[in-house]
């Protein structure tokens, strides 16, 4: 990596700060500052520790929660799915046996792993953060190098607090200008992915820069970093600034007193040096963006809400053409037609992309005094118990219920349909989550990804709707 004299990117700086050892002909050994665990990708890692007689090296840098297979029904009800119940029980056993802090189903700190880290101040600038989950990039919003790992690596981190890694290339995604009303952070990231494709960032870490990114709140930055993986990048980050420090100050695990001042001084060294170079670059003008919606079966198949569904015949590459045909067949959509106005069955507001308080506030502002179309089922699933509590304190639950929406307990829910919340075969949903893969929200289900504003407007219309045209 770069020496001290050379201008470095924030990615270089975090990397350099975390190299524990570098043996010839091997990847670097990198120290991990924070390890987040959940019930689905950790059980086999704990089994491995047991088989080899290993302990968790740093329980103090490890935190666990339950989100993926956890029901979003009332916590008073038992878990109906016995296999999920066994997995959740195993998480309790594993955390107890290895001495890990667990926010279980009954904890008021429980929630989607990428929502609770930031809200408790666990996620901090300059850290290396990993989790057995590809949306770990969410934490990059704080200027942390955060990425998803597989279960073998979960075991490696539990046992050694380290990972074997090779450096990634830095890819600058600069978004200048100002978003127009009705256009959100979600639309920025959907536009980026539509532009570069879902493999465009493979081998890279995105650094989001530019005036449009700077003017975003922390929650909006999280929405953007969250979907870095949908552009193929394992990580994506935003250099910390005053917005970051203001968000963090006073949170439960944020440093306090002198330690806070020292930390801020360190964090201020992180931003990319002037003159540092990126391996790749994309520039986007926020002024030109419209609300985005996906039409296909991967997150790169997105378009402006006023656009038309692409025509496979216009695509020259034969595999690309057959993939587009396959996607449109699965989605049962006609090429060349607009997507706006297409009838839908379900609206899902939730997931680690868009389930924070600002997302629920945005959706509630649309729903207030309006009704969910009688043909539509609308689920609002807060990202954490803390978000849920705040939403209730602000009366959002009442607004959602009065409009005819369900206001549920915290978890991943219909984002990946493991916990009983799912689409029926053939149903269409407008979802604020991050993946529209075949069957992602339930076998045979069809997903249109969009912002909370677009999702709420669509719930009212009973069809894909442009939030700027709300009557």
Separation CA 464–CA 339 (nearest Å): 7
Using the rule CB under 6 A, give the single segment among 173-181, 321-329, 402-410, 411-419 that binds ligand SF4.
411-419
Q: Which of ligand SF4, other proteins, none interacts with 71 (beta carbon under 5 to 8 A by kind)?
A: none
**Beta carbon of residue 323, minimum distance to ligand SF4 (angstroms, whole number):** 23
Burial 227-249 (b: 16+ CB within 10 A, else e): bbbbbbbbbbbbbbbebbbebbe
Name the DSSP letter for residue 273: P
Residue among 13 and 68 whose Cβ is closer to ligand SF4? 68
Strand (E) or helix (H) holding 315:
none
Using the rule CB under 8 A, give the single segment among 171-179, 262-270, 306-314, 397-405 that binds other proteins.
262-270
Please, which of residues 342-361 interact with other proteins by CB under 8 A?
A: none
Q: Which of ligand SF4, other proteins, none interacts with 73 (beta carbon under 5 to 8 A by kind)?
A: none
Task: Count other Cβ atoms within 10 Å, centred on residue 332.
Answer: 10
> Binding to ligand SF4 by residue 67, rule CB under 6 A?
yes
Separation CA 453–CA 468 (nearest Å): 9
Using the rule CB under 8 A, give the single segment among 322-330, 356-364, 377-385, 449-457 that binds other proteins.
322-330
Rounded to 5 degrees, φ, ψ at 100 are -100, 145
For ligand SF4, what does the binding mask look like between residues 227 and 246, x meaning CB under 6 A? --------------------
Q: Are 193 and 226 in contact (CB under 8 A)?
A: no
Separation CA 173–CA 210 (nearest Å): 8
> Binding to other proteins by residue 248, rule CB under 8 A?
no
Separation CA 397–CA 39 (nearest Å): 28
CA atoms lying within 13 Å on the CB side of residue 256: 4
> Binding to ligand SF4 by residue 65, rule CB under 6 A?
no
Q: Are 26 and 164 in contact (CB under 8 A)?
A: yes
Residue among 12 and 119 whose Cβ is closer to ligand SF4? 119
Separation CA 108–CA 103 (nearest Å): 8
Q: Are 245 and 153 in contact (CB under 8 A)?
A: no
> Binding to other proteins by residue 298, rule CB under 8 A?
yes
Size of the site for ligand SF4 (CB under 6 A): 13
Q: What is the 3-state secondary structure (H, E, C) of 402-439?
A: HHCCEECCCCCHHHCCCCCCCCCCCCEEEECCCCCCCC
CA 427 to chain centre: 24
Q: Which of other proteins, ligand SF4, none interacts with 193 (beta carbon under 5 to 8 A by kind)?
A: none
> Binding to ligand SF4 by residue 161, rule CB under 6 A?
no
Give the pair of three-digit tokens for residue 42.
């950790």
Please, which of residues 349-408 interact with ligand SF4 by CB under 6 A?
A: 351-352
Q: Which of other proteins, ligand SF4, none interacts with 81 (beta carbon under 5 to 8 A by kind)?
A: other proteins
Q: Which of ligand SF4, other proteins, none interacts with 44 (beta carbon under 5 to 8 A by kind)?
A: other proteins
> Binding to ligand SF4 by residue 39, rule CB under 6 A?
no
Please, which of residues 10-49 interact with other proteins by CB under 8 A?
A: 20-21, 23, 25-27, 29, 31, 33, 40-41, 43-44, 47
Residue from 297, 429, 434, 458 touching ligand SF4 (CB under 6 A): that is: 434
> Binding to ligand SF4 by residue 412, rule CB under 6 A?
yes
Using the rule CB under 8 A, give the single segment among 108-116, 228-236, 338-346, 364-372 that binds other proteins.
228-236
Residue from 118, 125, 132, 411 touching other proteins (CB under 8 A): that is: 132
Three-state secondary-structure class, residue 21: strand
Q: What Rg do the C-alpha atoms of the chain give, in angstroms?
A: 22
Q: Are 402 and 420 in contact (CB under 8 A)?
A: no
Cα–Cα nearest to 125, from 225, 29, 204: 225
For ligand SF4, what does the binding mask look like between residues 80 and 119, x meaning CB under 6 A? --------------------------------x-x-----
Q: Where does this chain bind ligand SF4 (CB under 6 A)? A: 67-68, 112, 114, 133, 135, 351-352, 412, 415-416, 433-434
């Amino acid at each position: 990596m770069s020496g001290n004299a050379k201008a470095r990117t924030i990615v270089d700086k975090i990397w350099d700060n975390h190299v524990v050892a570098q043996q010839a002909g091997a990847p670097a050994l990198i120290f991990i500052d924070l390890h987040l665990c959940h019930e689905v990708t950790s059980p086999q890692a704990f089994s491995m520790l047991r088989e080899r007689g290993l302990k968790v090296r740093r329980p103090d840098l490890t935190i666990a929660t339950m989100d993926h297979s956890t029901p979003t029904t009332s916590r008073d009800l038992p878990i109906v799915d016995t296999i999920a119940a066994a997995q959740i029980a195993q998480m309790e056993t594993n955390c107890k046996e290895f001495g890990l802090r667990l926010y279980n189903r009954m904890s008021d700190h429980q929630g989607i792993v990428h929502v609770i880290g930031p809200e408790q101040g666990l996620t901090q600038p300059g850290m290396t953060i990993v989790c057995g989950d590809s949306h770990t990039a969410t934490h990059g919003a704080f200027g942390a190098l955060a990425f998803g790992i597989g279960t073998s690596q979960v075991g490696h981190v539990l046992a050694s607090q380290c990972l074997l890694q090779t450096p990634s290339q830095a890819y600058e995604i600069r978004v200048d200008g100002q978003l127009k009303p009705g256009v959100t952070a979600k639309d920025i990231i959907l536009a980026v992915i539509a532009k570069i494709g879902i493999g465009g960032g493979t081998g890279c870490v995105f650094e989001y820069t530019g005036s449009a990114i700077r003017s975003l709140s922390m929650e909006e930055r999280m929405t953007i970093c969250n979907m870095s993986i949908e552009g193929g990048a394992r990580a994506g980050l935003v250099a910390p600034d005053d917005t970051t420090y203001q968000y963090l100050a006073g949170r439960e695990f944020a440093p306090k007193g002198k330690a806070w001042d020292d930390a801020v001084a360190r964090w201020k060294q992180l931003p990319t040096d002037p003159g540092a170079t990126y391996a790749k670059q994309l520039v986007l003008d926020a002024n030109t963006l419209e609300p985005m919606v996906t039409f296909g079966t991967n997150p790169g198949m997105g378009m402006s809400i006023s656009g038309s569904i692409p025509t496979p015949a216009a695509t020259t590459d034969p595999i690309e053409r057959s993939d587009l045909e396959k996607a449109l067949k699965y989605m049962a959509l006609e090429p060349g037609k607009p997507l706006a106005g297409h009838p839908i069955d379900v609206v899902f507001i939730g997931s680690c992309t868009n389930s924070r308080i600002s997302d629920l506030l945005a959706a509630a502002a649309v729903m207030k005094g309006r009704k969910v179309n009688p043909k539509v089922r609308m689920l609002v699933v807060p990202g954490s118990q803390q978000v849920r509590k705040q939403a209730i304190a602000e009366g959002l639950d009442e607004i959602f219920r009065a409009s005819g929406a369900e206001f549920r307990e915290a978890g991943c829910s219909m984002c990946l349909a493991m916990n009983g919340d799912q689409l029926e075969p053939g149903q269409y949903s407008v979802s604020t989550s991050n993946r529209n893969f075949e069957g992602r929200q339930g076998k045979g289900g069809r997903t249109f990804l969009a912002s909370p504003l677009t999702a709420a407007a669509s719930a009212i219309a009973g069809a894909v709707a442009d939030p700027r045209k709300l009557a």
